[in-house]
Amino acid sequence: MASVTIRHAEAGDVARIAALHATAWRETYRGLLPEAVIAAHDQAACATIWRARLEAPPPGASLLLVEGEEGAAGPLLAFGACGPRRDAALPFPGEFEALYVLRRAQRAGIGRALMRRMAAALLEAGIDAAGLWVLRANLAARAFYTELGGTLVAARENPALGAAEVAYAWRDLRLLAAASRRPEG
C-alpha cells in the first residue's frame, strides 16, 4: 500500500468528505442503482450528512479518513464511519456505516486497513461485534467483506434505494482487527 495516513475526521474536513462521498457513489453505484438515486446523493446532500455527524457524534462512533502521502495537504482517498448499531435489523451492537474508497485508490490495501482501524475503534468503544448493509448486486464489495471474514446474515429490499441489500457481520471484531493486517506503508 502506498504511504497513507489514517486519522479521525474533524469539522474542517466536511467538504472533502462530501466530495469523496459523492464521487465514490457515482463510481460505485452507476449501473447498480437508479440514476435518480445517484444524482440525489450529490456533494451538498453528503455535506449535510457528515456535518451533522461531526457536530453531534453518537457515543462510540468514529469517522476515519485516509489521506495520501502529504497528509492533510494530500488527496483524500477514502473514509469510513462506524459506531453503535443504527439499524435494529442488524442483531449486533455495532455497525460499519460507510466505507468509500475512490476507484483510483482501490486494490492497494486501503479498504482493508480502514476496516481494521474501524474494528479497533469499535473495540475501544466496548463494541465487540458489528454488521453492515451492502447492495446485493455489489459483488466486488461482497467479495471484499467475505475475504475479511464477514458472514452473510440477512437480506432485505431497500425501497429508498430501489435495490436489494444483504448484511454481513463480524461476531468477534478482534478477529477482523487481527486477520486483516497487512503492512501499511
Percent with pLDDT over 90 in the chain: 85
Per-residue model confidence (pLDDT) at position 82: 98
The parent domain of residue 47 ranges over 5-179
List the Cα angle 167/170/174 in 5-degree steps.
160
DSSP assignment letter at 60: T
185 domain-assigned: no
79 domain-assigned: yes
Query: What are 85-134's pLDDT values in tens digits?
Result: 998 889 999 999 999 999 999 998 999 999 999 999 999 999 999 999 99
68 domain-assigned: yes
Per-residue model confidence (pLDDT) at position 75: 85
Dist. CA 87–CA 121, nearest whole Å: 19
Query: What are 137-162's pLDDT values in tens digits?
Result: 999 999 999 999 999 999 999 999 99
Per-residue model confidence (pLDDT) at position 73: 54
Per-residue model confidence (pLDDT) at position 85: 95
**Distant-in-sequence, close-in-space partners of 5: CB < 8 Å, separation ≥ 6:** 66, 67, 71, 74
23 domain-assigned: yes
Percent with pLDDT over 70 in the chain: 92
154 domain-assigned: yes
Report the residue count for the chain: 185
Q: Mean pLDDT over all residues of the chain?
A: 91
**Distant-in-sequence, close-in-space partners of 38: CB < 8 Å, separation ≥ 6:** 25, 26, 29, 30
Confidence at 3, pLDDT banded by 50, 70, 90: confident
Dist. CA 95–CA 90, nearest whole Å: 8
CATH number at residue 151: 3.40.630.30
- The tally of domains found in the chain comes to 1
DSSP string, 124-165: HTT---EEEEEETT-HHHHHHHHHTT-EEEEEEEETTTTEEE
Pick from 8-17, 69-78, 147-156, 164-173: least confident:
69-78
- Of the candidates 81, 63, 55, 69, which has an alpha carbon nearest to the alpha carbon of residue 9? 63
171 domain-assigned: yes
